[in-house]
Amino acid sequence: MSQAIVFQNARLLDGRSPEGEHDRFVRAEGGLIREISDKPIRDSGARTIDLRGRTLMPGLIDCHVHVVAGLVNLGQNALLPDALVAFHAQRIMGEMLARGFTTVRDVGGATYALVDALEQGLTTGPRLIVCGKALSQTGGHADFRGRYDNRDADYQTRRLGALGRICNGVDACREAARDEIRQGAQFIKIMANGGVASATDPIAFIGYSSDEIRAIVEEARNAQTYVAAHLYTDEAIARAVELGVRSVEHANLIEKKTASLMKERGAIACPTLVTYEALKNEGESLGLPAASVAKIDDVRLRGLESLEIMHDAGVTMAYGSDLLGPMHRHQSEEFVIRGRVLPAIEVIRSTTIHAAELIGMTGKIGVIAPDAYADFVVVDGDPLADLSLLTGQGRHLPIIVKGGEFIKNELN
């Protein structure tokens, strides 16, 4: 059992109030936050750290990652041996934790075996929430075979490096959703629109029939969970939300009316703008196929506008990054990009309380409150005044704690 921790004179910032709270004392023990007070907490057995002048935040949460994406070319990634993919994932997760992300939601690729490896302490990384393989129709966003590759698509289903699996028709979609849940999926991901990284589906393509999506939503609900969908176009988003999709990934091309529909239905958006900037700057040189490079600007150019439209409609937005291969190092830059059009406190909420709501762990993560996990980052300064303090590979985060264990402590 880890030693108790007492943080003194901390300015707390978890997004529940617009400014946070000053001069607070926080005690954590046994992996959980136990007590928060405006008066000093005495615990002679605890490791006591003074945080005057610094900000104490809950551990950051990223709701859109692919920890198995060691390569930018996802078709090649799907063909790598599982052992190699697992070591890539280990490195990618370790680097995420070093950036202060203590929870990540993997939206395609990671299997429960990785969750198990983390829980057994075989490797170190953020809390990992998985959907197993994303479901895609033939020729959809997780079909990486390309035009002249006529292999049976089934090879993807059991490869750790594949982000998705192919299923078509209501019965096969139900079976695939049930199969992912059997294997430990905590939600279901579907590809309901064309995408950048896949070869044969222009952005505007609609993925899956309404009947197929309805069936998958029912399967997810039967398993007490929800469906997240890869979506760009206004038409595709509106249809998916009407059919019961709860987690709207990307949403770059959304219009006002559909944003209002999302608000009305309680759907949550997970924009991922940083990946389009990274793909634009580095994709080609890192092996992104030419057909994909040509599609980047179709979604990149509308990114900031989509944030404004959703913010104006009152849509809840969670933090996402969606980076691949060596571009993972840009994970925290999404904070700064969003800060160009959104109030800083909204950007903070995306990685704390809003992310926790999307993941279904409100009160356990993304919050500094009794009974929440003792996941913390200490920020040198005030992230509300300067969101770039959250970037730089954790350089401005002298302390990172996950589940009451110090991942990093430069203060004592």
Residues that bind Zn ion (CB under 5 A): 230, 322
Q: Measured from the CB of residue 160, what is the shortest distance to Zn ion in angstroms?
A: 16
* CA atoms of 226 and 52, how far apart (whole Å): 41
Q: Measured from the CB of residue 19, what is the shortest distance to Zn ion in angstroms?
A: 33
Residue 5 or 324 having the CB closest to Zn ion: 324
* CA atoms of 32 and 5, how far apart (whole Å): 10
Query: Of 321, 372, 348, whose CA–CA distance to 69 is shortest?
Result: 321
Q: Measured from the CB of residue 292, what is the shortest distance to Zn ion in angstroms?
A: 12
* CA atoms of 246 and 269, how far apart (whole Å): 8
Residue 162 or 372 having the CB closest to Zn ion: 162
Query: Of 165, 192, 169, 193, whose CA–CA distance to 179 is shortest?
Result: 165
Residue 230 or 246 having the CB closest to Zn ion: 230
Which position has the token pair 């990284």?
Answer: 197
Encoded amino acid at 111, one letter: T
Q: Measured from the CB of residue 66, what is the shortest distance to Zn ion in angstroms?
A: 6
Residue 230 or 396 having the CB closest to Zn ion: 230
Residue 159 or 230 having the CB closest to Zn ion: 230
Residue 74 or 97 having the CB closest to Zn ion: 74
Residue 13 or 135 having the CB closest to Zn ion: 135
Q: Measured from the CB of residue 5, what is the shortest distance to Zn ion in angstroms?
A: 35
Q: Measured from the CB of residue 74, what is the shortest distance to Zn ion in angstroms?
A: 10
Q: Measured from the CB of residue 381, what is the shortest distance to Zn ion in angstroms?
A: 31
Residue 66 or 127 having the CB closest to Zn ion: 66
* CA atoms of 388 and 254, how far apart (whole Å): 27
Q: Where would I find the beta strands (DSSP E) of 18-54?
A: 21-29, 32-37, 47-50
Q: Which two tokens stand for residue 269?
A: 């958006």
Beta bridge partners of 47: 5
3-class secondary structure, 291? helix
Q: Measured from the CB of residue 10, what is the shortest distance to Zn ion in angstroms?
A: 35
Contact yes or no for 156/165 (Cβ under 8 A): yes
Q: Measuring CA to CA, how many Å separate 254 from each of 231, 233, 236, 259, 305? A: 9, 6, 9, 7, 9
* CA atoms of 182 and 184, how far apart (whole Å): 6
* CA atoms of 372 and 377, how far apart (whole Å): 14
Residue 20 or 195 having the CB closest to Zn ion: 195
Residue nearest to Zn ion (CB): 230
Q: What is the DSSP string of 166-206?
A: E--SHHHHHHHHHHHHHTT-SSEEEE-B--SSSSS--TTPB
Contact yes or no for 402/127 (Cβ under 8 A): yes
Contact yes or no for 334/317 (Cβ under 8 A): no
Q: Measured from the CB of residue 333, what is the shortest distance to Zn ion in angstroms?
A: 16
